[in-house]
Amino acid sequence: MDNFTQNARQLLGLQLSREQIAAFKLLEEELLEWNSRFNLTAIRDKEGIETKHFLDSLTCLMALDPSTAPRSLIDVGTGAGFPGIPLKVMLPQMRLTLVESIQKKAGFCAHVVERLGLRQVQVLAERAEDVGQDPNHRESYDLATARAVAAMPTLVEYLLPLVRIGGLVIMQKGESAQLEALKSEKVIQRLGGKIRVILPVELPGVADERYLVVLEKVARTSTDFPRRTGLPAKQPLE
C-alpha cells in the first residue's frame, strides 16, 4: 500500500488520508478474497490491484477541475467497481451509481459498498441500455465513466444519454484511443457531445499506452438513444 500512496502523491498530487488508505486496504483484501472464489478480475496480486485498478481508476481525476468536483457519477460496466469505487473514496460527497449487468460482480460491488460504509451509492444489476432510458437516471449525472467496456461508438451510446448538458464523459482507453475518437466524432456529435481532450496516462511499471478520452455534453440526446438491449454493441453507430 506504501507504493500506491506514494504513486498517488507523485503522479496525481493526491495526499490520501488515513481513512482513505484504510478504505483502499479493505477494498484490496475483499478483492483478493472474492477473487480466490470467483473470477472477478484477471488481476490477482496486490501490486497489480494497486496499480492497474486503484491508481488507474484515480487517473480519471486528471480530467476534472479540483475546484468543481462532480456531485454525481455513473460508472457503466463497472465490473468489480472500477473506476467508480476508488473515485468515491476520494470524493465522498459525490453520489455514485454503479451499473453492472453480471449479477456476481454487482453483488461484489454491493458487498464492498456496505463494508466500506459508503453512502449515497446505488448498485444497478441492469443493462446500460435500460438505465439510459430510465427517467430516474437519464441526463441526470455530472459525470459518466467507463473503462475499456466496449468500442467507442458503443460506449458513447451508453454514456452520453446519462449525462446532463455541461456534464462530462470519461472513457479509459488503450493505444487505439486517438484513432477511435477520430472515427467516432460524428457519433459523439449526433448524441449531443463533443471531444474536450484526450489525455495520455502513464502508470508505473505498465508499458501499455493508456488515455482518458473526455467528452463534454453540449446538447440533449435524442430519446431514440440508447437503442434497445444489444443493438449498440451489435450494430455500432457510424
Predicted pLDDT of residue 141: 98
Question: Which of the four pLDDT bands, split at 50, 70 and 90, describes residue 178?
Answer: very high
Helices (H), 71-102: 84-90
Mean pLDDT of the chain: 96
pLDDT of residue 36: 87
Which backbone phi and psi does 171 adopt, to 5 degrees?
A: -110, 125
pLDDT band for position 44 (50/70/90)?
Answer: confident
Whether the per-residue pLDDT at 120 is higher than 80: the answer is yes
Q: pLDDT band at 216, cuts 50/70/90?
A: very high
Higher pLDDT, 38 or 186: 186
Q: In a 3-state reduction of DSSP, which class is residue 156?
A: helix
85: CB partners within 8 A, 6+ apart = 27, 57, 78, 96, 98, 109, 112, 113, 116, 118
Residue 42 has pLDDT above 90, yes or no: no
Q: Looking at the predicted structure, is the pLDDT value of residue 131 above 90?
A: yes
Is 3.40.50.1860 the CATH number for 2-234?
no
Q: 61-105: per-residue pLDDT in tens? A: 999 998 889 999 999 999 999 999 999 999 999 999 999 999 999
* pLDDT computed for residue 4 by the predictor: 96
- pLDDT of the residue at 177: 96
Q: Is the bond into 226 cis (omega within 30 degrees of 0)?
A: yes
Name the nearest CA neighbour of 217 among 189, 237, 236, 238: 189
pLDDT band at 148; cut points 50, 70, 90: confident
Strand partners, 169: 144, 215
Cα distance between residue 115 and residue 139, in whole Å: 30
Percent of the chain with pLDDT over 70: 100
What are the residue ranges spanned by the domains of the chain? 2-234
* pLDDT for 217: 98
Distance separating alpha carbons of residues 165 and 94, to the nearest angstrom: 18
pLDDT of residue 41: 85
pLDDT digits (tens, 9 = 90+) for 219-233: 999 999 999 999 999
Cell numbers representing residue 102 in the block = 453480471
